[in-house]
Amino acid sequence: MNMTQSFDTGLMWFRRDLRVNDNAALQLALSRCRQLHCVFVFDEAILTGLPRADRRVEFIRESLVDLDAALRQLSGKAGAGLIVRHAMASEDIPRLAVQLEAQAVFAARDYEPQALARDEAVRQALAQVGCAFFTCKDQVIFEGRDILTQSGTPYGVFTPYKNNWLSRVAPEHLACHDSAALASQLSERPPEFQRPVPSLGAIGFEVTNLAGLKIPTGERGGHALYESFFERMDDYHTTRDFPAVKGPSYLGAHLRFGTVSIRQLVRSALQRQAAGSAGAAVWLSELVWRDFYFAILANFPHVANQAFKPEYDAIEWESGLHAEELFKAWCEGCTGYPLVDAAMAQLNQTGYMHNRLRMVAGSFLVKDLGIDWRRGERYFAEQLNDFDLSANNGGWQWVASSGCDAQPYFRIFNPVSQSEKFDPQGKFIRRYLPQLAKLSDKAIHAPWAAKPLELQMAGVVLGRDYPHPIVAHDEARTKTLQRYAMVKKSGPPTLQI
């Protein structure tokens, strides 16, 4: 069906784009429909496997309250708001389209394998009732095969991808999709749908510590974080690696659920970079990495459960009872390495982990403990507020050296030197491991190496207040090189970073 065709009634299906400003699918839907209804489905296919107290579900719920209010304000109609459902989306969207007598459904494209299968099922079901299904790009700047090598193949290395990306990006890729002029076409909801956004309890979930963590939600929350970061973007290149410093944008969850526009962020970064901002240039690279990992998942879908480099699937990881004990200690932040444990405490308590620490904690699991990277990937997927399959998978394959443009297998993070370099005064460690707070700035990075008197003065008994290291890093490094030798028979000497 022609993308320029007009429809009497349409249905806008919000998924990972929970905002009204600069929303490509919303603008497309309004431009094609005389009247438009808006829906979000709490998809049982996704929710069933989640813990009952999940910050992400609460983040979505609070963001929907914000979206519902924004839609009503945009339209100027009290009853225009958002229809919120709790069902199997693949079944409910076609059913709702029939109820509302919609001739077309619109949505922003989603790229994860489960989402692609869901959308294909929806497309087929809608076709059976004579309803069209349109999707458009919204959560990335370039998607799929937009950026290819000169030979017409997808990139597997980041730097040439980035260079091509930067050479290609143009104003039309970053144009703001403003719906204000078309907002009168947002329709009043039928009486049976005139209900507020359901509570967490109504969909079978519990309130979490989201509010206590002061994590802002919704489009307004995303905008506030963006405004805050814009003021310190110029310093990003010098602050981003230090977890005790307010360096990152903290926009991860907002990008994940679309409560901010990626186009707005890239526009800002390009503007600041053009003005000579080194911080903006580095942050822009991080946004390009995001597109890169989306493209990797789209063009090499096997990475969702296998190594990007197939030879790395032959590695023999630790197994058995001892491996389970090591993995449990890592999950619980009881490895005996303070920076790793503080990072895991931050993740478990808040659903957030600083990017530098994601690399350190990930490397420790894979290359100090010898645990399959997929186990760490799954744990992060359960815990991270900003979990995104493409980026999470890309990050874990990077630390495991099995992914595209990954760190070399012989590059093994030293958790102590990383701690000394990026948390030199132990401020981050003290925040999440208060039992070590009285140790000196030197001893806090490796308590087992502290003098007995210093431990005593700090009130720390190893094995009681804080665990002994569960592995010796130097021995683990040697074992990792042997483990990876089956993939790389020879290679450069070990790099300590």
**Can you list the domains of the chain with their CATH numbers?**
1-139 (3.40.50.620), 140-176+219-299 (1.25.40.80), 310-496 (1.10.579.10)
Q: Note the pLDDT of residue 491.
A: 42
- Residues 368-426 have pLDDT tens digits of 999 999 999 999 999 999 999 999 999 999 999 999 877 788 889 999 999 999 999 99
13, 165, 283, 373: the catalytic one is 373
Q: What pLDDT sits at residue 126?
A: 98
> ∠330-331-333 over CA atoms, to 5°?
60
Q: Is the pLDDT of residue 493 over 70?
A: no
Catalytic residue among 165, 283, 330, 396: 396
Catalytic position from the list 188, 317, 348, 454 = 317
Is the predicted pLDDT of residue 170 greater than 50, yes or no?
A: yes
Catalytic residue among 91, 286, 318, 382: 286
Query: Can you give the pLDDT at residue 367?
Result: 97
84/61 Cα distance (integer angstroms): 10
**Is the Cβ–Cβ distance between 402 and 307 less than 8 Å?**
yes
Q: Which ranges of 333-469 would DSSP assign to H, the alpha helix?
A: 338-350, 355-363, 373-383, 389-399, 415-422, 427-432, 452-457
* C-alpha dihedral, 376 to 381 to 387 to 392, nearest 10°: 30
58 catalytic per annotation = no
Active site residue 373: yes
Residue 330 is among the residues annotated as catalytic for this protein:
no
Known active-site residue 317:
yes
Looking at every residue in the chain, the average pLDDT score rounds to 95
Choose the catalytic residue: 355, 420, 448, 454.
355
Q: What is the pLDDT of residues 139-169, one digit of tens each?
A: 999 999 999 999 999 999 999 999 999 999 9
293-302 residue pLDDT tens: 999 999 999 9
pLDDT, residue 411, reads: 86
**Crossing angle for the helix pair 320-332 and 373-383, nearest 10 degrees?**
30
Predicted local distance difference test score (pLDDT) of residue 97? 98
Residue 207's region, left for phi above 0, alpha for psi from -120 to 50, else beta, is beta
| Burial classification of residue 189, based on how many CB atoms lie within 10 Å of its CB (0-12 exposed, 13-18 middle, 19 or more buried) | buried
Question: How far is it, in rounded angstroms, from Cα 88 to Cα 77?
Answer: 29
pLDDT confidence bin for 492, thresholds 50/70/90:
very low
Is 382 in the active site? no
- Indicate the pLDDT class of residue 489, thresholds 50, 70 and 90: low
Which is nearest to 352 in space by CA: 497, 238, 225?
225
Look at residue 3 in the predicted model and tell me its pLDDT: 55
pLDDT tens sequence across 328-345: 999 999 999 999 999 999
Of 453, 460, 458, 427, residue with least CA distance to 441 = 427
- Enter the pTM of the model: 0.95
Residue 495: pLDDT over 70: no
DSSP assignment of 28-69 equals HHHHHEEEEEEEEEEEHHHHTTS-SS-HHHHHHHHHHHHHHH
User: In this predicted structure, what is the pLDDT of residue 497?
Assistant: 41
Could you read off the pLDDT of 192-241 as tens digits, one per residue? 999 999 999 999 999 999 999 999 999 999 999 999 999 999 999 999 99
pLDDT in tens, 342-351: 999 999 999 9
- What does the angle CA 79 – CA 81 – CA 82 come to, to the nearest 5 degrees? 135
Q: Which of 13, 165, 283, 289 is catalytic?
A: 289
